[in-house]
Structure 1
Amino acid sequence: MSDLTQFLRRDLPASIVVFLIAIPLSLGIAAASGAPLLAGLVAAVVGGIVAGALGGAPLQVSGPAAGLTVIVAGAVADFGFAGTAAVVALAGIVQILLGVSRLGRAALALSPAVVHGMLAGIGLVIALSQVHVLLGGAPQSSAWANLRDLPAQIVEHHSLSAALGLLTIAVLILWPRFVKVSLLPAALVAVVGVTVLAHVTGADVTRVKLPEEPLAELITPVWPDAPLRQITVAVLTIALVASVESLLSAVAVDRMHDGPRARLNKELIGQGAANTVSGLLGGLPVTGVIVRSSTNVAAGARTRASAIMHGVWVAAFVLLCAGLLERIPMAVLAAVLIVVGLRLIDLGQIRTYARHRELPTYLVTAIGVVAVDLLTGVALGMVTAAAMILWRLTRCEIQTVEQAPGQWSVNIAGTCAFIESARLTREFGAIPPGQEVEVELHLDYLDHGAFETIKNWAETYEKGGGTVRIREVHDSWFHQATSGRLGSNKSTPRLIGSWSRWQGLNHQRRDAMAAGIAEFERSVAPMVRPHLATLAREGQSPEQLFITCADSRVVPNLITASGPGDLFCVRNVGNLVPPHRPAPDHRSRPAAGDTSVGAAIEYAVDVLGVTTITVCGHSGCGAVRALMSGAAPPGSALGDWLGLSGVHFTDVDDEQRCCTDNVLQQLANLRTYPVVQAAEAAGRLRITGMYFDIAEALMHQVDPVLGTHRPLHTPAA
């Protein structure tokens, strides 16, 4: 599909859908922020065009965000809107500096429970203030005041505006449940429908008011008349909150599509540029917005052209059709903001944090934002998160169970530190003397005090006639402490660690295979048994034939993060594919050479229907070195086998290039097989070459034309 065709079929329709959502949301956010309505539209235009063009997340759509409403409202109250515009421009410069300093990922270090708690608190503040607007009143200066005055506001007589607002809320809630048309988003239907109703009935209600000449009415920023410390706090607050919200949104959008991944530092620079321009033009602060971005992806966008064009549509509509916007009742925008604010309180997230025991952090942050202010709420949330981390780090789970008469099991999991010594002593003391006791340790950390407690109890218990066996799972803290090496632990998960790595630490090397099988059956088999049972019942259907070297350092399932049923593997010395040599007729024996590789190729393509064949070489390959030096003479089994490779090296002094040459030759040999030729010609088989750098643990793609290789995946900035 050409770029123009893709734009017309994918990006252009998506940009129109996002534009239709952006108009009402931008107006509503500006109203809730106490800013001129035009400022919200300016931010939508700048967010779409500037952030869309310069950002590092191509499918993310930026604009004014509900998450910054409370902060902007406070800035407007303190500095006036012209001063707030200057603060926004300065915040953009801070974001650019953060991106240039490559601190994009550092913003994601903030606990998600704090971020989502902050957004929930902001959403509640927005909803409480806009309820008063919907009911015909005016919002108060704080969330507490809005909550306090809400009962009185409810019982008072309400105008037609309240009915229009309630109708808008009903449409916003019910429309998505009954109508599944992406081109007709609920916000657009609600705002347009109720506005038309108000116009037809001639309702006398307060409506949107925009300048007659928008370009002439753009607000010029001025330096705020306030102490430098207060200005600095406002700048940093907007910069940091906007950055975190944008980056979290970019990461979330990445999970919704299979296109290019977000480059977070570049995205931060793009967001900073957009905020600087928005501030200079008198607009609200800009962030990446998950609602618009997810709509953009769902509508079929493929490139950043969609985000950019949505900004162009907003600008054109404001300049050419401002009169239509001025027919929208303010109560309708208040209703939109109420629903948007309440949707920031995500019940699914609350359940998730409850399961992960992070609900206190979420609730403390949200309550702090509502009861005090945003910075206090975030600070309280971070303190709570740190306190819970410390509590978890110094906490372990201890279970003492009588397995059978005379046999006891003690399971200790987590972090076992000296402050648990009294609890350990109490648990051990509950075991009757003279029993067989197995102590199973699932430890992330064991300090010397807790080690001494366990060791002293075990020695004392055995002197009293009992038996104690201490068994460690995954790590070897206790055995290291016994040998005087506590604190030097550099654990390797057993699923990826070699036998010598984890069995050597536990002095169990006499039968490595048996110990490895026992560990598999104990800890891994229960997890994979359901999947293996399905494969046993339904048979295998791997996607790839993976041909690689027999070198013990190359582990196909490890370096491809694959599992049972994913790869059909062929391993041999040098990852060779001997050329296909057809016999003269079906009664003759095959020509000299190896047929096992050919049998695997034919079975994989014709029977299993694999869609990809990969030949994977690796660094430091002994077979390639033997071919380079001629160390395997003809007549030996190794020499005869390597003679089937057919490889000719372009530079015998460059070992890496020779390994790559070998991969390219095996790809050529692979294409001599009729089954491969037929499948590739039919478009149902792809052939690729790879090179694994063992020292760097990095996979490279082999260029079939240049004969070079490059990393398959470049880490995101």
Structure 2
Amino acid sequence: MSDLTQFLRRDLPASIVVFLIAIPLSLGIAAASGAPLLAGLVAAVIGGIVAGSLGGAPLQVSGPAAGLTVIVAGTVADFGFAGTAAIVAVAGGVQILLGVSRLGRAALALSPAVVHGMLAGIGVVIALSQVHVMLGGAPQSSAWRNLVDLPGQIAAHHGAAALLGALTVAVLVLWPRIVKVSLLPAALVAVVSVTALAAAVDADVERVRLPGEPLANLIRPAWPDAPLREIAVAVLTIALVASVESLLSAVAVDRLHDGPRADLNRELVGQGVANTTSGLLGGLPVTGVIVRSSANVAAGARTRASAILHGVWIAGFVLLCAGLLEAIPMAVLAAVLIVVGLRLVSLAQIRTYARHRELPTYLVTALGVVFTDLLTGVALGMITAAVLILGRLARSDIRRVERAPGEWLVTINGTLSFVESARLSRELGALPPGAEIDVELHLDYLDHGAFETIRDWREGYERTGGAVRIREVHDSWFHQATSGRLGGGKRTPRLLGSWSRWQDMDQQRRGAMEAGIAEFERSVAPLVRPHLADLARDGQSPQQLFITCADSRVVPNLITASGPGDLFCVRNIGNIVPPHASGDTSVSAAVEYAVNILGVTTITVCGHSGCGAVRALMNDAAGAGSALGAWLALSGVRFSDVTDEERCCADNVVQQLANLRTSPTVRAAEAAGRLRLAGMYFDLAEARMYEVDPVLGDARPVSSLPAA
């Protein structure tokens, strides 16, 4: 599709849809903010053209937003609208600085529960104030006063304004459920139809008032006559809230389409330029608006042309058709804002935060905004979020299980700090005296206070005749504390560390294995169980027989990044393959099974650095007459240079490949092209695999990545 065709088929129709939505919303937000109605339309024009051109989210549509209504209303009350316009212009400069400083992502660090709670609180405040306007009254100075006066307002006599407002709400609610036409948004249908009805019956209601010459009546910003501290607070509040709302909207819009992703720093700069421009021209603050943006995407927009054009359409409509706007009853705009405000309280979000145990943060923020003010509500929400996080971090799971008479297992998971010392003492103190107690620690962190609690309990318990064994199945916090090194040293990744690194160092190896098995069944088994279940049902079909040394430092699945069902392994001292004529069938049986039954296509012999078997052969110290000496003698290896241990390990691999080819099974499979033999050498110190030339014995890296 050409650019022109895409514009005509996608962006142009989408711009008209957004334009039709933006007109009533911009007027309503201006009215709810206590600002001139023209200021809302100016912000819509600037948001579309300037933010649409310069922003980093191509499909986001910007303009006056309901989320800033409460803030703007307070600013207008404190500084007048001319002063508010100046504050908006300066707030735009702050946003530009944030974007240039590349702090776009930092603005998203605020808890979503706080942000959505703030928007919900703002929505309730808007609805409580505008319901008075819709019923023919006047909003009070605070949400609490609006709530207290609401019963009296409802019980009072209502005229045509209340009826028109009720009809508007009905259309807004019912239209989307009845008609699924994106070109006819509910807000447009409600405003146009009810306004037409009001004109037809010549209803005596208050209507929209716009200046006769909009360009000549733009309000010039004026620096407020107020303390600098109060002005700075207003500037930062508008800048930060507008930034967070715009960035959250941009991230949400990204989820709605598969086009280019938003550049959040550029979006901040674009929003800042738009706000500075809007303030200088006497407009409201501008933010990215999810309602208009989602409508833009749903209508088929593909580029930023749609957002820009919607601003152009608004400017043309205001200049040429202002008389049509003046026919709209104010009660109708109030009804639109009531519905918009209540939709900011999302039941889906409430359910989500309840599932994630963040509902207290959401509710505290929302109620704080409603009954105090926006900054106090957000501060209370952030404090609540911090308290919940600290509570979760400080919380550990302590379980006691009696495995047998007189034997108990105590498992402690999570973070164990001094905050949990009282509960920890209570749980440990409930154990019967004189028993054998195994304490398994699965800890992300252990502080000194909790360590002392466990240590003191163990000492006291053992003095009364009990036995306590402490095992660590994560990092060795308790062992470090016992050694006086709590909090020091490097941490080893849990799944890569050996038992000796992540188990209690003074435990017997038997205990470490038991703890390791328990850890596997607890944390790893749930991840691999579906795959193992498939293998159990379908059987194994590995593609490779991997013959390597029994050395404990060589872990085949780790060094090949393979998993269950990938490798058929044979491990022995020195990765030896006895010749077929030797009569030893231990390796031959595995080779025949792998080739004839499993149908492997590759046999790899893998040696390694520091191999004890190779060193014994190099030094002729194999122990003649012993079982080990007899086994090593089966290797048949002859070293080219006994002073070069790496070369000797490679020579051993080459010899075992030659021994493999003495097997009739291997020769037949190779001749048929069904089998390939490969030699490998693993350098333990470098953690790097080398391929061994089967003729020359030279080793070259398998991977092109640089060695560690």
What's the TM-score, normalizing by structure 2?
Answer: 0.74
Q: In the alignment, which residue of structure 1 is the partner of 2:452?
A: 452
The amino acid of 1:42's aligned partner reads V
Q: In the alignment, which residue of structure 2 is the partner of 1:268?
A: 268
Q: Which deviations, in whole Å up to 9, do the C-alpha atoms of 1:137-182 show, x marking residues without a partner?
A: 1111111211121111111111111111111112222222333333
Q: In the alignment, which residue of structure 1 is the partner of 2:156?
A: 156
SS of residue matched to 1:317: helix
Change (3 A) 1:377 1:400: same
Q: In the alignment, which residue of structure 2 is the partner of 1:252?
A: 252
Q: In the alignment, which residue of structure 1 is the partner of 2:108?
A: 108
| Correspondence list, 1:34-433, <5 A | 34-402=34-402, 405-433=405-433
Alpha-carbon shift at residue 268 of structure 1 (Å)? 1.0
CA contact (8 A) 2:161 2:205 kept: yes
Alpha-carbon shift at residue 214 of structure 1 (Å)? 1.8
Change (3 A) 1:275 1:595: farther
CA contact (8 A) 2:129 2:143 kept: yes
Partner Cα separation in structure 2 for residue 504 and residue 398 of structure 1: 20
Q: Where does the alignment leave 5 or more consecutive residues of structure 2 unmatched?
A: 540-555, 564-601, 606-667, 677-685
Q: Kindly tell me the number of residue pairs found equivalent between the two proteins.
A: 582
CA contact (8 A) 1:480 1:489 kept: no
The amino acid of 1:338's aligned partner reads I
Partner Cα separation in structure 2 for residue 362 and residue 271 of structure 1: 27
The amino acid of 1:635's aligned partner reads V
Q: Percent identity?
A: 76
| Correspondence list, 1:300-699, <5 A | 300-402=300-402, 405-488=405-488, 491=491, 494=494, 497-500=495-498, 503=501, 519-527=519-527, 529=529, 635-636=695-696
Change (3 A) 1:7 1:414: same
Partner Cα separation in structure 1 for residue 130 and residue 531 of structure 2: 52
The amino acid of 1:32's aligned partner reads A
Q: In the alignment, which residue of structure 1 is the partner of 2:631?
A: none
Change (3 A) 1:281 1:214: same
CA contact (8 A) 1:440 1:472 kept: yes
CA contact (8 A) 1:161 1:331 kept: yes
SS of residue matched to 2:258: coil
Q: Which deviations, in whole Å up to 9, do the C-alpha atoms of 1:560-610 show, x marking residues without a partner?
A: xxxxxxxxxx9999xxxxxxxxxxxxxxx999998889xxxxxxxxxxxxx
Alpha-carbon shift at residue 13 of structure 1 (Å)? 2.5
Change (3 A) 1:639 1:526: closer
CA contact (8 A) 2:63 2:289 kept: yes
Change (3 A) 1:67 1:76: same
Q: Which deviations, in whole Å up to 9, do the C-alpha atoms of 1:429-472 show, x marking residues without a partner?
A: 11112334333333332111211211232344345444434344
Alpha-carbon shift at residue 276 of structure 1 (Å)? 0.3
Change (3 A) 1:126 1:532: farther
Partner Cα separation in structure 1 for residue 302 and residue 366 of structure 2: 36
CA contact (8 A) 2:434 2:467 kept: yes
Alpha-carbon shift at residue 339 of structure 1 (Å)? 1.0
Partner Cα separation in structure 2 for residue 640 and residue 393 of structure 1: 49
SS of residue matched to 1:260: coil
Change (3 A) 1:510 1:534: same
CA contact (8 A) 1:165 1:331 kept: yes
Alpha-carbon shift at residue 86 of structure 1 (Å)? 0.8
Partner Cα separation in structure 2 for residue 554 and residue 476 of structure 1: 28
Partner Cα separation in structure 2 for residue 410 and residue 514 of structure 1: 14
SS of residue matched to 2:126: helix
Change (3 A) 1:538 1:43: farther
SS of residue matched to 1:277: helix
Change (3 A) 1:401 1:53: same
Partner Cα separation in structure 2 for residue 591 and residue 309 of structure 1: 71
Partner Cα separation in structure 1 for residue 688 and residue 6 of structure 2: 48
Partner Cα separation in structure 1 for residue 603 and residue 67 of structure 2: 55
The amino acid of 1:440's aligned partner reads E
Partner Cα separation in structure 1 for residue 354 and residue 526 of structure 2: 27
Larger Rg: 2
Change (3 A) 1:195 1:524: farther
Alpha-carbon shift at residue 513 of structure 1 (Å)? 11
CA contact (8 A) 2:30 2:36 kept: yes
Partner Cα separation in structure 2 for residue 366 and residue 30 of structure 1: 22
SS of residue matched to 2:31: helix
CA contact (8 A) 2:51 2:273 kept: yes
Alpha-carbon shift at residue 302 of structure 1 (Å)? 2.5
CA contact (8 A) 1:409 1:440 kept: yes
Alpha-carbon shift at residue 367 of structure 1 (Å)? 2.1
Q: Where does the alignment leave 5 or more consecutive residues of structure 1 unmatched?
A: 540-549, 558-569, 574-588, 598-619, 627-631, 643-657, 660-691, 696-717
Q: Which moved more, 1:499-508 or 1:21-30?
A: 499-508
Q: In the alignment, which residue of structure 1 is the partner of 2:645?
A: none
- RMSD, aligned α-carbons: 3.7
Partner Cα separation in structure 2 for residue 205 and residue 535 of structure 1: 76
The amino acid of 1:98's aligned partner reads L
SS of residue matched to 1:412: strand
Alpha-carbon shift at residue 368 of structure 1 (Å)? 2.1
What's the TM-score, normalizing by structure 1?
Answer: 0.73
Q: Which deviations, in whole Å up to 9, do the C-alpha atoms of 1:210-236 show, x marking residues without a partner?
A: 222222222111111222222111111
Partner Cα separation in structure 2 for residue 411 and residue 515 of structure 1: 11
SS of residue matched to 1:522: helix
Partner Cα separation in structure 2 for residue 206 and residue 411 of structure 1: 71
